[in-house]
């Protein structure tokens, strides 16, 4: 019995590791690509052909990407060093004692990792946490809680098993990577917004020579780009924040599942945690931003696997947002001045032929890159859906979750569009009437509609074959390709006649 | 016996009295009580930890350290004003013995009334700082008084 539990725990830990890896790659993709695109398009003259003479706009994007990679690596080195310093203890420091050490080693062996225990903190520290530094995997235990190995043995073992599950899944390391990528993305977004502010300020300063009316006029003109940039970056920052938080909550369920397989249900450990107080609104906000699920959800998830499925739905919103942002950037680059107030569909078709004729390599590369980015983000999301199903031991993904996917992706697409400067400009110049924008710009609307239709088709496939084929390796690739293929077909139908 | 060892001996005796099951954690309690601010988190935790409840064993170790350091401080200047107030006239020899073996010797004949009050005030202060419940504070106070030979 104990052996089969150990096997089950190791299997869930392996699933957690896969899920964590996919999540990390998806977030790294999004937080590196979008801010790099923002910086690349904001500094066209500075980033031209510095190292890679690819010509605009590829050169801008490539250089912005390289800058992002450099910033990310520096931050990663600094973060690793900071963590190393936090867990550094003198050679002569006392250990956790033989009892705790024995319990930890036994559990670590069963999870299939090597780990060490380290005491920390003074009279009032209460935490127990997992830390990875280099090759070392450490469970840090507040000194004041060591005695729980004797006073609350079941809860203590469950907590240690939970932390070991985090270590086995590589969560502390993934956290560090994501935190550094977020920080680099924040720097890039601040730099981009700073450049917009600088532009607005210098225009206003120039206008000052012509009097206050000119300044007011320049600020009126600047209001839309300022609002669009603030909305666009604010939306991305919020989505990333919520996704990170929800992913952290999701993995708590998984770590609890590993601990349950190892030492039995840890209701007593969960019951000992501080409960969430406050009114309904406070609890709702806490559910959204907290990095740990509420106690009663964790307790329920110990026996009801579907609870965990609901934890990370924002993932799909983020995927929709990312795909729409990439498509929007592509359309903006391909059809500069492609707004319905500036050009007709025939003119846009003509422009595409023109740029294809003069810059075939650049245009093709841009289109392939956009298709690949959208495909990869979709692939990572569908692979995660599969891993989630595996983690819960379910034969198929719950229909309730998959039927929500198109709606959630649609919300993401909508958020990306309402924070796009071009779309906002079109809306404002057409009296904020969405139908007028769709009528004047049917090509753009159709590309997004086709993308969403592709997502719906993918979901119908999952439901139709009950996840048997669609959630295999080849199946997920096909699912991810569907929305891209639909969007490309719509584009070809409109532009290549 | 060095001051460090003697200090640990007193703390260990107090720990043995109030929380005999926590003996194996003495070294780590001793280090944590000496460096109470090292509580930085660095990784992925289990969740909001249990409500804070003071820990009698760790508080006992802290109290042992504080008392020993205070008496050591008084002994450094026996002719000083403070020492005259808190130590009895015949304290010198007995004090030396206590500092060498604080877990075995008594401070009863060493401290004046004011000295005893001050020592017990230190126990109360540390017990409060450790967040002990009223019951545990009283338990620790009684144990310290017993250990130091301050009870009749």
pLDDT tens for residues B108-137?
A: 888 888 999 999 999 999 999 888 899 999
CA distance A287 to chain B (A): 13
| Contact between A147 and B22 using a beta-carbon 8 Å cutoff | yes
What is the spatial distance between Cα A251 and Cα A16, in angstroms, rounded to a whole number?
Answer: 7
| Contact between B50 and A272 using a beta-carbon 8 Å cutoff | yes
* pLDDT given for residue A410 in this prediction: 93
Contact indicator for A447, A331 with CB cutoff of 8 Å: yes
Domain that holds residue B107: 3-35+53-148
DSSP A418-486: HT-HHHHHHHHHTTT-HHHHHHH-HHHHHHHHHHHHHHHHHHHHHHHTTTTTTTSHHHHHHHHHHHHHH
* pLDDT given for residue B129 in this prediction: 87
| Contact between B29 and A143 using a beta-carbon 8 Å cutoff | yes
- The interface residues of chain B toward chain A in range 99-138, judged by CB-CB distance below 8 A, are 129-131
Is position B47 within any domain? no
CA distance A294 to chain B (A): 9
In a mutational test of the A interface, the residue from B32, B46, B127 whose CB has the highest number of chain A CBs within 10 Å is: B46
What is the spatial distance between Cα A95 and Cα A84, in angstroms, rounded to a whole number?
Answer: 18
* pLDDT given for residue A370 in this prediction: 94
| Partner residue facing A122 (CB), from B21, B22, B38 | B38
* ipTM for this prediction: 0.87
State yes or no: cis peptide before A57, omega within 30 of 0. yes
Q: Which residues does chain B have within 8 Å of residue A166's beta carbon, measured at their own beta carbons? A: 44
Query: Listing from the earlier edge strand, what are the strands of the sheet with A136-142?
Result: A116-120, A136-142, A128-133, B44-45
pLDDT tens for residues A315-363?
A: 889 889 999 999 988 888 887 655 666 778 888 888 888 888 988 888 8
Asked whether the predicted pLDDT for residue B152 surpasses 60, the reply is no
- Beta-bridge partner residues of A120: A142
What is the spatial distance between Cα A97 and Cα B25, in angstroms, rounded to a whole number?
Answer: 6
| Any A CB within 8 A of B64 CB | no
| Contact between A172 and B44 using a beta-carbon 8 Å cutoff | yes
* pLDDT given for residue A398 in this prediction: 64
Asked whether the predicted pLDDT for residue B1 surpasses 90, the reply is no
In a mutational test of the A interface, the residue from B34, B44, B125, B127 whose CB has the highest number of chain A CBs within 10 Å is: B44
Query: Can you read off the two tokens belonging to residue B126?
Result: 């540390």
Query: Can you read off the two tokens belonging to residue A348?
Result: 């846009």
Q: Which residues does chain B have within 8 Å of residue A93's beta carbon, measured at their own beta carbons? A: 31
Contact indicator for A144, B49 with CB cutoff of 8 Å: no
Distances (CA, A) of B66 to B121, B137, B144: 11, 16, 12
| Any A CB within 8 A of B89 CB | no
Residue B33 confidence class, pLDDT cut points 50, 70, 90 = confident
> Chain A to chain B, count of Cβ pairs less than 8 Å apart?
128
Is position B46 within any domain? no
Is position B121 within any domain? yes
CA distance A178 to chain B (A): 13
| Contact between A128 and B24 using a beta-carbon 8 Å cutoff | no
Q: Where are the domains of chain A?
A: 1-86+96-263, 309-497
* pLDDT given for residue A494 in this prediction: 86
| Contact between A147 and B41 using a beta-carbon 8 Å cutoff | no
The number of folded domains in chain B is 1
Q: Which residues does chain B have within 8 Å of residue A123's beta carbon, measured at their own beta carbons? A: 32-33, 36, 54-55, 58-59, 62, 129-131
Backbone CA torsion sign across A68, A69, A72, A78: negative
| Contact between B49 and A94 using a beta-carbon 8 Å cutoff | no
DSSP A226-270: HHHHHHHHHHHHHHHHHHHHHHHHHHHHHHHHHHHHHH---HHHH
CA distance A244 to chain B (A): 13
What is the spatial distance between Cα A405 and Cα A69, in angstroms, rounded to a whole number?
Answer: 32
Asked whether the predicted pLDDT for residue B77 surpasses 70, the reply is yes
Q: Which residues does chain B have within 8 Å of residue A258's beta carbon, measured at their own beta carbons? A: none
Question: What's the average pLDDT block by block, 10 residues per block, for chain A (497 residues)?
Answer: 73 80 89 89 76 76 92 95 84 86 94 91 84 92 91 92 92 91 94 91 91 90 86 87 85 86 82 73 78 79 67 83 91 72 81 87 90 93 76 60 84 90 82 87 90 90 75 88 95 82
Query: Can you read off the two tokens belonging to residue A58?
Result: 């590829």
| Partner residue facing B44 (CB), from A87, A126, A130 | A130
The helix, strand and coil proportions of chain A, stated in percent and rounded to the nearest 5, come to: 75, 5, 20
| Contact between B46 and A159 using a beta-carbon 8 Å cutoff | yes
Q: Which residues does chain A have within 8 Å of residue B25's beta carbon, measured at their own beta carbons? A: 96-97, 143, 146-147
Q: Which residues does chain B have within 8 Å of residue A131's beta carbon, measured at their own beta carbons? A: 42-44
CA distance B64 to chain A (A): 14
CA distance B9 to chain A (A): 16
In a mutational test of the A interface, the residue from B43, B53, B131 whose CB has the highest number of chain A CBs within 10 Å is: B43
CA distance B29 to chain A (A): 7
| Contact between A96 and B21 using a beta-carbon 8 Å cutoff | no
């Amino acid at each position: 019995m104990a052996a089969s539990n150990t096997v089950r725990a190791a299997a869930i830990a392996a699933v957690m590791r896969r899920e964590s890896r996919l999540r990390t790659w998806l977030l790294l993709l999004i937080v590196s690509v979008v801010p790099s695109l923002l910086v690349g398009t904001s500094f066209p003259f500075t980033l031209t052909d510095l190292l890679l003479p690819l010509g605009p706009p590829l050169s801008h994007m490539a250089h912005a990407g390289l800058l992002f990679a450099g910033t990310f690596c520096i931050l990663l080195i600094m973060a690793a060093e900071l963590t190393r310093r936090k867990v550094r203890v003198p050679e002569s420091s006392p250990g956790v004692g033989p009892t705790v050490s024995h319990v930890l080693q036994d559990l670590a062996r069963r999870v299939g990792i090597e780990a060490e225990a380290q005491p920390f903190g003074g009279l009032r520290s209460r935490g127990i946490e997992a830390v990875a530094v280099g090759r070392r995997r450490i469970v840090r235990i507040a000194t004041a809680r060591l005695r729980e190995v004797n006073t609350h043995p079941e809860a203590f073992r469950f907590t240690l098993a939970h932390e070991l599950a985090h270590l086995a899944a590589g969560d502390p390391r993934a956290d560090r990577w994501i935190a550094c990528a977020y920080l680099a993305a924040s720097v890039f977004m601040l730099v981009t917004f700073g450049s917009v502010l600088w532009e607005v300020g210098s225009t206003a300063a120039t206008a000052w020579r012509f009097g206050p009316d000119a300044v007011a006029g320049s600020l009126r003109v600047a209001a839309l780009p300022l609002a669009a940039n603030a909305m666009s970056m604010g939306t991305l920052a919020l989505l990333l924040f919520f996704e990170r938080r929800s992913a952290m909550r999701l993995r708590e369920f998984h770590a609890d599942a590993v601990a349950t397989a190892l030492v039995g249900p840890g209701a007593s450990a969960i019951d000992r945690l501080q409960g969430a107080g406050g009114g309904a609104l406070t609890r709702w906000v806490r559910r959204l931003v907290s990095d740990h699920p509420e106690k009663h959800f964790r307790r329920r998830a110990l026996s009801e696997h579907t609870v965990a499925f609901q934890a990370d739905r924002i993932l799909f919103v983020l995927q929709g947002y990312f795909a729409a942002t990439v498509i929007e950037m592509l359309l903006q680059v391909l059809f500069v001045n492609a707004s319905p107030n500036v050009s007709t569909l025939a003119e846009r078709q003509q422009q595409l032929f023109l740029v294809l004729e003069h810059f075939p390599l650049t245009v093709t590369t841009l289109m392939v890159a956009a298709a690949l980015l959208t495909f990869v983000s979709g692939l990572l999301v569908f692979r995660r859906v599969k891993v989630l199903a595996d983690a819960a031991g379910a034969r198929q993904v719950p229909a309730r979750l998959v039927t929500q996917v198109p709606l959630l992706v649609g919300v993401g697409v909508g958020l990306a569009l309402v924070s796009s400067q071009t779309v906002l400009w079109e809306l404002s110049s057409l009296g904020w009437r969405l139908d007028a924008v769709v009528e004047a710009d049917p090509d753009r609307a159709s590309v997004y509609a086709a993308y969403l239709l592709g997502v719906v088709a993918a979901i119908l496939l999952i439901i139709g074959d009950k996840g048997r084929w669609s959630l295999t390796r080849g199946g997920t690739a096909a699912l991810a390709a569907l929305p891209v293929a639909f969007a490309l077909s719509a584009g070809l139908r409109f532009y290549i006649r | 016996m060095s001051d460090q060892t003697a200090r640990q001996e007193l703390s260990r005796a107090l720990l043995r009295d109030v929380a005999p099951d926590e003996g194996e954690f003495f070294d780590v309690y001793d280090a944590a009580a000496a460096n109470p601010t090292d509580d930085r988190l660095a990784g992925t935790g289990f969740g909001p930890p249990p409500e804070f409840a003071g820990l009698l064993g760790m508080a006992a170790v802290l109290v042992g350290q504080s008392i020993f350091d205070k008496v050591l401080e008084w002994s450094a200047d026996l002719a000083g004003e403070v020492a005259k107030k808190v130590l009895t006239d015949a304290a010198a020899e007995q004090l030396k013995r206590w500092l060498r073996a604080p877990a075995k010797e008594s401070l009863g004949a060493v401290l004046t009334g004011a000295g005893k009050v001050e020592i017990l005030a230190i126990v109360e202060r540390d017990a409060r700082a450790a967040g002990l419940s009223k019951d545990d504070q009283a338990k620790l106070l009684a144990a310290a008084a017993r250990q130091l030979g301050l009870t009749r």
